[in-house]
Amino acid sequence: MSEKIRLIGIYSAIIGSMYILYGMLEIIAWAAGELAFPLSPSPDIFAGFILVVIGSILLYRVRDLLNMRYEGLSFFFVGLILSAIIGIMYLLIMGADLLDATIIGETWAFDSAAYNLPAIVLFILLLPGWLIIKEREEFGE
Amino acid sequence: MKEMTKVALAGNPNVGKTVIFNELTGSKQHVGNWPGVTVEKKVGKFSHKDEEIEVLDLPGTYSLSPYSIDERIARDYIIEEKPDAVVNIVDASNIERNLYLTLQLLEAGANVVVALNMMDEAQKKGMKIDVKKLSELLKTPVIPMVGIKGEGVKELKDAVYEEVKHHREHRHMSMGYGKELERGIISLEEKMEHCPALKKYRHRWLAIKILEGNAEAIEKVSEAGCDNLIKEGEKLRKQFGRKLHEDLESYFADKRYEFVDDILGVVLIKGKKLWSFSDMLDKVLTHKVFGIPIFLAMMWATFQFTFSVAVPFMDAIDLFFGWLGGAASAGITDPAIQSLVADGIIGGLGSVLIFLPNIFLLFFVLSLMEDSGYLSRAAFVMDKAMYRIGLQGKSFVPMLLGFGCNVPAIMSTRTIEDRKDRLITILVNPLMSCSARLPVYILFAGAFFLGAEGSVIFSMYLMGILLAVLMALLLRKLFFKGKPSPLIMEMPPYRIPTLKSSAIHMWEKGSMFLKKAGTTIFLGVIIIWFLSTYPGGPGSDIETSYVAAIGRWVQPIFAPLGWDWKAAIALLFGFVAKEIVVGAYGTFYGISDADEGSATLRSELHGAFTPVSAYAYMAFVLIYVPCLATIGVIKSETGSWKWTLFAVGYMMGLAYLVAFVITTVGHLLGFA
């Protein structure tokens, strides 16, 4: 498990940095009105703030994880949970829009800004982290 | 005749005190009440060796600085009655929190025997406690126990017997608070030597309490006629407070926790299973830096979800009411009845019921957060922030309840003992945005802030919290001077919420909205329909109606905010229930005539508002007079018309001021 913790640390650092990057880009996009960047960051200051928060939590105790200390896992798990809440929320919004289009008889098209594509992609990239929860008996109740 | 030896059982709530009491006393117990209060007093007896011992089960307490009746009883008994020994029952699996009381008991000079209960639970958590070392550090006997299995009871009786036979006050530990503060404590102790009436108290304990500013300790000193001590204590408290940049009560508490940490660093052998999942979550969710951003993130996600996921259900209801309105228009020939049913009932009520999915989804998410145990952490995190700026500690729990409905939220302030704290909480609670305001936000955010509806709605809730905090601060400074009482709360364990229980909670709370729609709102929209249809009758111009006349009379007040008479009259009716604001617009614009339903209502609003005036209107709805039911409960809970009228008055004034600032700043920034 110890070596795995170090790997989680590296993984957490990479995804955490991406969260912060996209969070900042969403805040900039909100201020600038629009921003051309891969994954089309959503111009939404609050959404950007939330991504920055998730990224900061993932990065906060990376050093502990790299030093194979269990304390760092707390921050990784909460980052994981928040990422899932936000990612699933956007997927549900997408599903609701699809249903709405069916009800009112309109055609539905994917809108990367409305569904905050970076939040969905980063949530998917973080999904393998949930496998760690399966081994929680090693560090939890 | 020799007086019977008295032993008190003290400990935090839920540490197995009653189990140990029963193990010690068997069936020989008597249950009564503490004098003057309805708190249960349990007394029992047991004999051990040559000693007959009376055991008293004290109410659970977290500290000896009492914040509730239970805690005051426990503290007074230990300090005033001075039992021969105090058995401090400590939950070994929660040793850090429990040892805080142990330190206070020792500081007060009690003859303490620590019963380290629930050792099995601690072992399950992978904790290993060096009991011998703990006993050495605390300089008091520590008996490991599993009370529920009767393990350690004989050893506890032995230890109690030894303690009462050989009073060992002299060997009790004293923890240090730093050189300078210790000098202050000693100087107060020396002065106490000249106050014989204070002899029965441990001087060091009393000196610390005086420095903490503990009102009851100061009263004891005053009763003893030692006012010079109070003056000296006040001087030292101010002097150290300035130096330490925090109040001394918090400083002493922090130092005790530091001391607990130091002890645990030596006696607690951390196993690899020490970290539970709950501990891990708490470490981050109640973190001093991340706690509030996480709370804000959760609230934002709640409103984003509530608005966006409800859209297909809203459209389905909208289509239904559009069809129903059309059918009513086609099927009813009498113009007056047709107008009443189609424009009044279906148009008015339908425009409110369309928001049913939002309200149910909001309650569903709040139930998920409550059932998972997160809401208690949110209250804890917000409390810490509020307490730091001098606000009352327990108020955030009722304030969070205010997101659902202000009426039960205000009633829940009964748990706050201090009248000043309670009044502040009651007076600011209506600023927490209840679910009745949600339809107004959704209508206006959908009409004017396309693509950012969730964030705009979230900003309303945030504004409510900020205004509540600011108003509480202002009320504290102006009318309710004094120190707020801190919050001590038991954190429920985290649980994965079940869909069933969250759905039940959602229905319990959401069905209130349905009931209201069938009663108050129904009546409200019929009155509005009548006033907007007559005297001209169905089909006449609304501008010639009673409602227009009343509206034009009120409208000049709102002219600086850019609102027409319809906005003014909707606010007037919103006084009864905030949902009626939407119902009024539904009736004014007769949406049942249009198949597009709320889409038409939104486009009609564009003729009456700009984004800036719409946002100001939303803010006004958030802040101005709460509904009639809330005013009623403010009156019954404060028992005062003065405070009720004050609440109504300040909220009207604040609503106008905030709306005016939004309009002015918005225009200055070049927004329409």
- Of residues B125, B285, B310, nearest to A78 (C-beta): B285
- Of residues B311, B319, B454, nearest to A97 (C-beta): B311
pLDDT digits (tens, 9 = 90+) for B53-71: 999 988 888 888 766 667 7
Of residues A20, A10, A19, A18, the one with CA closest to residue A67? A10
Give the pair of three-digit tokens for residue B640: 């005062």
Asked if residue B535 has a cis previous peptide bond (ω within 30° of 0), the answer is yes
Give the E-state strand segments of B222-352 in sequence order: 268-270
What local confidence, expressed as pLDDT, does residue B37 receive?
Answer: 47
What local confidence, expressed as pLDDT, does residue A99 receive?
Answer: 95
% of chain A with per-residue pLDDT over 70: 92
What local confidence, expressed as pLDDT, does residue B578 receive?
Answer: 86
User: CATH number of the domain at B179-260, out of 3.40.50.300, 3.40.47.10, 1.10.287.1770, 3.40.50.1000?
Assistant: 1.10.287.1770
Whether residue A78 and residue B284 make contact (CB cut-off 8 A), yes or no, is: yes
* Dihedral sign for Cα atoms in the order B409, B375, B373, B397: negative
- Kind and range of the H or E element at B614? helix B611-623
User: In Å, how far are B39, B228, B360, B651 from A68, measured between CA atoms?
Assistant: 50, 57, 44, 54
User: In Å, how far are B402, B561, B622, B625 from B651, measured between CA atoms?
Assistant: 16, 17, 10, 6
Q: What share of chain B is helix, strand, coil (3-state, %, to 5)?
A: 70, 10, 25
Residue A88 domain-assigned (yes or no):
yes
What local confidence, expressed as pLDDT, does residue A133 receive?
Answer: 65
Distance between first and last Cα of chain B: 90
**In chain B, what are the domain boundaries?**
5-171, 179-260, 293-482+503-668
The number of C-beta contacts closer than 8 angstroms across A and B is: 102
Q: Among B24-33, B304-313, B316-325, B586-595, which is the least confidently predicted range?
A: B586-595
CB atoms within 10 A of CB B329: 16
Q: How confident is residue B1, by pLDDT bands cut at 50, 70 and 90?
A: low
| The 3-state secondary structure of B547-607, one letter per residue | HHHHHHHHHHHHHHHCCCHHHHHHHHHHCCCCHHHHHHHHHHCCHHHCCCCHHHHHHHHHH
Q: How confident is residue B312, by pLDDT bands cut at 50, 70 and 90?
A: very high
Give the pair of three-digit tokens for residue B308: 């966006």
**Cβ-proximal residues to B204 (8 Å cutoff; 6+ apart), any chain:** B107, B109, B174, B185, B189
Q: How confident is residue B393, by pLDDT bands cut at 50, 70 and 90?
A: low
ipTM: 0.93
What local confidence, expressed as pLDDT, does residue B66 receive?
Answer: 65
The number of domains in chain A is 1
Residue A116 domain-assigned (yes or no):
yes
Residue A91 domain-assigned (yes or no):
yes
Average pLDDT score, chain A? 88
What local confidence, expressed as pLDDT, does residue A138 receive?
Answer: 47
Residue A141 domain-assigned (yes or no):
no
Closest residue of chain B to A72, computed from CA coordinates: B280
CB atoms within 10 A of CB B269: 12
Report how far residue B349's alpha carbon sits from residue B352's, in angstroms, rounded to the nearest whole number. 5
Report how far residue B359's alpha carbon sits from residue B314's, in angstroms, rounded to the nearest whole number. 11
Residues of A in contact with B277 (CB under 8 A): 77, 136, 140-141
What local confidence, expressed as pLDDT, does residue B309 receive?
Answer: 92
Residues of A in contact with B273 (CB under 8 A): 139-141
- What class is the B5-171 domain? alpha beta
Q: Quick check: B664 and B456 in contact, CB under 8 A?
A: no
Whether residue B301 and residue A50 make contact (CB cut-off 8 A), yes or no, is: yes
What are residue A42's phi and psi, to 5 degrees? -75, 130
User: In Å, how far are B124, B336, B529 from B525, measured between CA atoms?
Assistant: 61, 15, 6
Give me the domain span that covers residue A97: 2-136
**Cβ-proximal residues to B592 (8 Å cutoff; 6+ apart), any chain:** B321, B322, B324, B325, B326, B328, B329, B342, B343, B346, B347, B350
**Cβ-proximal residues to B57 (8 Å cutoff; 6+ apart), any chain:** B9, B17, B18, B21, B41, B42, B43, B44
What local confidence, expressed as pLDDT, does residue B284 receive?
Answer: 92
Report how far residue B568's alpha carbon sits from residue B566's, in angstroms, rounded to the nearest whole number. 5
CB atoms within 10 A of CB B536: 14
Q: Among B37-41, B152-156, B502-506, B639-643, which is the least confidently predicted range?
A: B37-41
Residues of B in contact with A89 (CB under 8 A): 301, 304-305
Q: Beta strand B51-57 with B268-270: parallel, antiparallel or unpaired?
A: unpaired
Of residues B492, B487, B508, the one with CA closest to residue B425? B487
What local confidence, expressed as pLDDT, does residue B274 receive?
Answer: 53
Residues of B in contact with A82 (CB under 8 A): 294, 297
pLDDT digits (tens, 9 = 90+) for B438-453: 999 999 998 999 888 8
* B605 against B143, higher pLDDT: B143
Q: What is the pLDDT along chain A (141 residues), one digit of tens a residue?
A: 567 788 889 999 999 999 999 999 999 998 887 778 888 888 888 999 999 999 999 999 898 888 877 778 889 999 999 999 999 999 999 999 999 999 988 899 998 888 999 999 999 999 998 887 666 544 443
Give the minimum alpha-carbon distance from B599 to chain A in angstroms, rounded to a whole number.
12
pLDDT digits (tens, 9 = 90+) for B481-527: 776 665 556 666 677 888 887 888 788 878 888 888 888 888 888 88
Amino acid at B130: D
Residue A130 domain-assigned (yes or no):
yes
% of chain B with per-residue pLDDT over 90: 25
Whether residue A89 and residue B305 make contact (CB cut-off 8 A), yes or no, is: yes
What local confidence, expressed as pLDDT, does residue B644 receive?
Answer: 94
What local confidence, expressed as pLDDT, does residue B307 receive?
Answer: 84
Residues of A in contact with B124 (CB under 8 A): 141
Q: How confident is residue B652, by pLDDT bands cut at 50, 70 and 90?
A: very high
When pLDDT is averaged across residues B368-384 and rounded to a whole number, the result is 82
Whether residue A100 and residue B311 make contact (CB cut-off 8 A), yes or no, is: yes
Q: Quick check: B390 and B330 in contact, CB under 8 A?
A: no
Give the minimum alpha-carbon distance from A97 to chain B in angstroms, rounded to a whole number.
7
DSSP string, chain A: -HHHHHHHHHHHHHHHHHHHHHHHHHHHHHHHS----TT-----HHHHHHHHHHHHHHHHTHHHHHTT-THHHHHHHHHHHHHHHHHHHHHHHHHHHHHHHHHHT------TTTTTHHHHHHHHHHGGGHHHHTTGGGT--
pLDDT digits (tens, 9 = 90+) for B321-357: 889 988 988 888 888 898 889 888 888 888 888 888 9
What are residue B495's phi and psi, to 5 degrees? -135, 150
When pLDDT is averaged across residues B457-479 and rounded to a whole number, the result is 89
